[in-house]
Structure 1
Amino acid sequence: LVLSRRALEAPIDTTLFADILYSMHEFDRLVDRLLSGVITTLTDVDGLTGLLNRTAMERDLEKELAHFQRSGRPFTVAMIDADLFKRVNDEFGHGFGDVVLETLADRFVESLRPRDRVYRYGGEEFLVLLPETPLESALPVLERLRRRASERTISDGSQAVRQSVSIGAAEIGREESVEVVVARSDQALYRAKQAGRDRVELDHGS
């Protein structure tokens, strides 16, 4: 490849260069998750965060329910919400809001055990599946995730925030469906937000 002197001396488009580097980073992250088995097909992937999406979540929850019915070993579902996220979008813009969600997704993956799964539920909400894990055993895992979410600021190089999360969790009951345990974890999440946010609330059922 021969380049003219004029081409070599031409100014570099720094914006384009930054976009290329970002795309390479996102591709590397996606490949890492494919190789680790966290995701098995690109149709399972949320386009923004690289996490498993809601389609994969629904399939995995039904599989885990069937396993629970055979083995008797319960699982826990946790709903996560980025606290006051609308303020982030309003103050810093949706582009920076996307950076916050991407960073939270990475921190969630780093905080969980290898067998756990985290999904983009929608908007600023996420769902965590903790297989063969009763509610009380899930608590220290979820507390670690909550702490790590906000222990460091999130920055795009020009602005930064410290983003906390609220978490609600519920253990599957013997006669419950997937929809019921997800609804109970969502109710626990609501209580966590009402109680001041940046906390984990457990739903122990009836």
Structure 2
Amino acid sequence: MRGIETIEQDLLAVQTEDARAKAVANERYQYALTLIGILLLGLSAWATILVRRALAAEAETRRMLQRTASSDEMTGLSNRRGFMDALHRSVARSSDGRKELAYAIFDIDRFKSINDTYGHAAGDAVIAEVARRAVATFRARDLVGRIGGEEFGVILPAANQAEAMEACARMRAAIEAEPIMIDGKSIGVTVSVGVSQLHREETVESLMARADHALYEAKNSGRNVVRLAA
């Protein structure tokens, strides 16, 4: 009997040990699965971060390319392409007459003389400073763009004739107020300005042509003045 009991005890011990081994193995297996799950979650989160960073970098690259395509390198203003796109959008929003819109064009008086006297580098510096002073005088909602060599355009949304004329007169005075210092040389600079108010259902071409004519009148009347288009 004792022999049988001993055998049974041995079998029970073996079964118990086997059960413990299986439990340990199962615990280790579950632990390994948990680690793998955590690792996969971590990799997934990191992959998500990398994808988001890549998408953000791509979007920023697109924005930079768009800014480069529509910005003037010398002044930081909108170039002619960017400015014209904005003007077309503004006119489209205001052509029904329910929203007022004014457009102005101005250029630097006797700019060729500045270039001939002080050199092209000084001329470029004058253009950049005129741009800076112009932007500083207009409202944040107004858009100033460089649309030619020494020629600039301004979009003034929600501005009537009186407001547009006042804003342009303020800009003209700010540019004339102090000479521009270039390499120790004092250069007096003035601008002439033409302003047009958008008529109901008027085209961009007509709006610009009327402002151009007003600018021509400003030049012919002695320069350094603001003229309103008919």
**Pairwise CA distance, 1:106:** 0.3
Could you list the runs of 5+ residues in structure 1 that have no partner in the other structure? 1-39
Deviating above 4 A after TM superposition, structure 1's stretches of 4 or more consecutive aligned residues are: none
In the alignment, the residues of structure 2 paired with residue 69 and residue 162 of structure 1 have an alpha-carbon distance, to the nearest angstrom, of: 39
Q: Which moved more, 1:41-50 or 1:164-173?
A: 41-50
Query: Aligned-pair RMSD on alpha carbons?
Result: 1.2
**Pairwise CA distance, 1:70:** 5.1
- Measured against aligned partners, the alpha-carbon deviations of 1:1-49 in whole angstroms (never above 9, x if no partner) come to xxxxxxxxxxxxxxxxxxxxxxxxxxxxxxxxxxxxxxx7232211111
Q: 1:99 aligns with which of 125, 133, 146?
A: 125
**Pairwise CA distance, 1:135:** 1.5
Asked which structure has the greater CA Rg, the reply is: 2
In the alignment, the residues of structure 2 paired with residue 70 and residue 183 of structure 1 have an alpha-carbon distance, to the nearest angstrom, of: 20
Could you list the runs of 5+ residues in structure 2 that have no partner in the other structure? 1-65
Question: Which runs of structure 2 are paired with 1:34-183 in the superposition (5 Å)?
Answer: 41-69=67-95, 72-183=98-209
In the alignment, the residues of structure 1 paired with residue 221 and residue 167 of structure 2 have an alpha-carbon distance, to the nearest angstrom, of: 20
- Measured against aligned partners, the alpha-carbon deviations of 1:38-90 in whole angstroms (never above 9, x if no partner) come to xx723221111111111111111111112113561121110101001110001
In the alignment, the residues of structure 1 paired with residue 97 and residue 225 of structure 2 have an alpha-carbon distance, to the nearest angstrom, of: 31
Q: TM-score, normalised by structure 1?
A: 0.77
Q: TM-score, normalised by structure 2?
A: 0.69
8 Å contact 2:106–2:151 — kept in the other structure? Answer: yes
Instruction: Provide the secondary structure at the position in 1 that maps to 2:140.
Output: coil
Task: Give the aligned residue type for 1:193.
Answer: K
In the alignment, the residues of structure 2 paired with residue 160 and residue 100 of structure 1 have an alpha-carbon distance, to the nearest angstrom, of: 11
More helix by share: 2
Percent identity of paired positions between Structure 1 and Structure 2 = 36
Report how many aligned residue pairs link the two structures: 165
Tell me what 1:191 maps to: 217
